[in-house]
Structure 1
Amino acid sequence: MSESAPSANAAGRSGPGRVLVALYALFALAATARAGVQIATKFQEAPLAYLLSLAAGVIYIVATVGIARSGRTSHRVAMVSCAIELCGVLAVGTLSLLDPAAFPDDTVWSRFGSGYLFIPLVLPVLGMLWLRHVEKIRTGETAQAV
């Protein structure tokens, strides 16, 4: 490996990687805490919405840990988490627009995350792009080492 080539571990912990992990951690905390309070205090009002918010929070937690860690397995888990998250925000976003009565209270993903400045829609895309970037650096190291 060339000394001038950045390592995948260093790239994953650089400025953009740290910001991404911080955003995921913030959303993990916000979604999980909000869902926990809603489930504890008014679950009967909108059980689907609150359970979906809890699921989003758990997915954000898994993605946060996977992106923060440097191993291949962690990054694969994070990539799958981001893909599930993107599918969830697209599905729930579409359903919440087509059938608003099904969601009497918002989820994190309702209307594609409009209540959160559409960050839930953009975050998984950024996560997957970042993970791909780090993987390219990792495979570049492997090619240079041979």
Structure 2
Amino acid sequence: MTQPSPLEEQIHDSRPPALGMGRLVMVLYWLCGLWIFIESVALLFVRPNDAFVGPLLGSVLAGFLQITAAVAITHNGRRMRMIGWVTTLICLTAPIIVGIVSWGMPDFSVMRSAWGRFGVDYWYLPIAVNGIGIVWLWFSNPRRIVELAERIERVPLSHYGSE
């Protein structure tokens, strides 16, 4: 067995794994993303000759973006957090935009879609899950947590009335 080099010892991460709410958010993202993606791909193969294939392709894209956001949130590295922010914001705003644009189009609401009619076909989960994801990404940001901790450490004791 080889001994770890001094560089490997320096970069060893001794933080404990994330438990609790972070894991629930990850599971929620994975389940929602897989549900949307698998169902939309299955519908795409069942109804390949339908005239309204656009909403199904939108659902495939929604599922793919949701799975990408799940990977980014699960990994939680600096670059993956950026990917998580982008995909989560797209997945949050797309049902709202598509819902507003298709408001008066009854033909658009014929097909089941993750983004159509504000995500009603998926029980509004595309909006709810990504809203939870935005809140979690904000509160779990390591930079923000460190800045808050440093701000607390820098406050002099006289500020707390210890004199």
Q: Which category of TM-score, normalised to the shorter sequence, fits these structures?
A: 0.7 to 0.9
Whether the 8 Å CA contact 2:95–2:116 is kept in 1: the answer is: yes
The answer for the alignment partner of 1:75 in structure 2 is 81
Whether the 8 Å CA contact 1:13–1:68 is kept in 2: the answer is: no
Change (3 A) 1:114 1:103: closer
**1:102 CA displacement:** 2.7
The answer for the alignment partner of 1:21 in structure 2 is 26
> For 1:77-117, what per-residue CA distance to the aligned partner results, in whole angstroms no more than 9, with x for missing partners?
10100111112111122234321213420201222122222
2:41 maps to a residue whose letter is G
1:97 maps to a residue whose letter is W
Q: C-alpha separation between the residues in 1 aligned to 2:47 and 2:113?
A: 14
Unaligned 5+ residue runs, structure 1? 1-8
- The aligned runs of 1:52-131 (5 Å cut-off) are 52-131=58-137
Q: Percent identity?
A: 25
Unaligned 5+ residue runs, structure 2? 1-14, 155-163
The answer for the alignment partner of 1:6 in structure 2 is none
**Higher Cα Rg: structure 1 or 2?**
2
Q: C-alpha separation between the residues in 2 aligned to 1:107 and 1:30?
A: 12
Change (3 A) 1:145 1:44: farther
Q: C-alpha separation between the residues in 1 aligned to 2:25 and 2:103?
A: 28
TM-score (norm 2): 0.74
Q: Determine which structure has the larger helix proportion and give its number.
A: 1
Query: Of the two structures, which has the highest relative contact order with CA contacts closer than 8 Å and spacing of 6 or more?
Result: 1
Q: C-alpha separation between the residues in 2 aligned to 1:115 and 1:32?
A: 14
Q: Give the aligned CA root-mean-square deviation in angstroms.
A: 2.3
Count, aligned residues: 137
